């Protein structure tokens, strides 16, 4: 039987989250050192999707401040929280953009012109546009979101022209199986080409390879909060 995500936390779960965070932080430090990069060069985005507000509170008590959620509705139930920064990391429907702008400090999944239109419009109405990352479908997989490799350069340029400094970087989810390293290096090279500082790449299973390839943000869920019921990564 798969372990289930608890709906409420007991002391043991709090301890587990704190212990997992300490272990991830140590592994990040080691990977940075191994890559010859400065300590603190990577931001850990704790992916709290499917975990409840108590789990977020436990992570915050253990010093975690940056969180990732993939559904706006679910995020709204846990955020905003004082002292927390929220990244939207899941595919975003245009009709959820206004709500997303009210919650998020960063939207990592800008991947089509119609979403850019919705962000522009909601940003004008709310007076606030968060940091934006273009999601690149780095393995050109038909089932995955993200702008395809053939369109990526043109789309990134268009988003740069449209959002200026609000466009801060790129995000990718490489193919689920095999070595992620080549995909991470490709995303980093693409970010370099466009002069974009942020590279959000690497999850529980491959964040060290991402750090080696130049990730500035890693998105780690299950290694902090425990296994989810379904994988839910697109
Ligand atoms: C769920 C998710 C993650 C975290 O995955 P883990 O393997 O649990 O670390 C990272 N990025 C995205 C886009 C996700 O949807």
Give the Å distance between the CA of 233 and the centre of ligand 1: 6
Answer yes or no: is pLDDT of 46 > 60. yes
Measured between alpha carbons, how far is 25 from 97 in angstroms, rounded to an integer? 32
Is the pTM here over 0.75, yes or no?
Answer: yes
Q: CB count, 10 Å around CB of 23? A: 12
Q: CB count, 10 Å around CB of 229? A: 10
Answer yes or no: is pLDDT of 11 > 80. no
Q: Is 174 in the pocket of ligand 1 (CB under 6 A)?
A: no
Nearest Cα residue to atom 10 of ligand 1: 219
Query: Per residue, what are the HEC states of 17-51?
Result: HHHHHHHHHHHHHHHHHHCCCCCCCCEEEEECCCC
Contact 11, 55 (CB under 8 A): no
Nearest Cα residue to atom 2 of ligand 1: 233
CA 225 to ligand 1: nearest atom: 8
pLDDT of residue 1: 43
Answer yes or no: is pLDDT of 234 > 90. no
- What are 163-190's pLDDT values in tens digits? 999 999 999 999 999 999 999 999 999 9
Q: Which DSSP category does 81 fall into?
A: -
Q: Is 85 in the pocket of ligand 1 (CB under 6 A)?
A: no
Q: Is 210 in the pocket of ligand 1 (CB under 6 A)?
A: no
- What are 110-165's pLDDT values in tens digits? 999 999 999 999 999 989 999 999 999 999 999 999 999 999 999 999 999 999 99
Give the Å distance between the CA of 145 and the centre of ligand 1: 14
* Nearest CA among 128, 132, 105 for reference residue 116: 132
Measured between alpha carbons, how far is 4 from 226 in angstroms, rounded to an integer? 9
Average pLDDT, the chain: 94
Which domains does the chain show, CATH number per domain? 11-225 (3.20.20.10)
Element (H, E) at 178: none
Q: Which pLDDT band, with edges at 50, 70 and 90, does 229 fall under?
A: low
Vertex 49: Cα angle to 189 and 164 (nearest 5): 40
pLDDT of residue 27: 98
Q: Is 47 in the pocket of ligand 1 (CB under 6 A)?
A: yes
């Amino acid at each position: 039987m798969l372990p289930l995500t608890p709906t409420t936390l007991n002391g043991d779960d709090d301890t587990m989250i704190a212990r997992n965070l300490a272990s991830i932080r140590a592994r990040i430090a080691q990977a940075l050192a191994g890559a010859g990069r400065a300590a603190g060069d990577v931001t850990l985005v704790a992916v709290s999707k499917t975990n409840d507000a108590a789990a977020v509170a436990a992570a915050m008590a253990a010093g975690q401040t940056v969180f990732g959620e993939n559904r706006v509705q679910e995020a709204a139930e846990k955020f905003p929280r004082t002292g927390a920064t929220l990244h939207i990391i899941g595919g975003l429907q245009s009709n959820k953009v206004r709500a997303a702008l009210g919650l998020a400090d960063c939207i990592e999944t800008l991947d089509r012109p119609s979403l850019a239109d919705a962000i522009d419009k909601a940003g004008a109405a709310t007076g606030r546009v968060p940091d934006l990352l273009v999601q690149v479908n780095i393995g050109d997989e038909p089932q995955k979101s993200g702008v395809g490799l053939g369109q990526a350069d043109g789309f990134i340029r268009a988003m740069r022209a449209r959002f200026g400094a609000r466009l801060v970087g790129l995000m990718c989810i490489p193919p689920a199986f095999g070595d992620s390293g080549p995909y991470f290096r490709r995303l980093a090279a693409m970010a370099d080409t466009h002069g974009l500082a942020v590279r959000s790449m690497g999850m529980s299973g491959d964040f060290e390879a991402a750090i080696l390839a130049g990730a500035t943000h890693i998105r780690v869920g299950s290694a902090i909060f425990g296994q989810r019921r379904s994988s839910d990564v697109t």
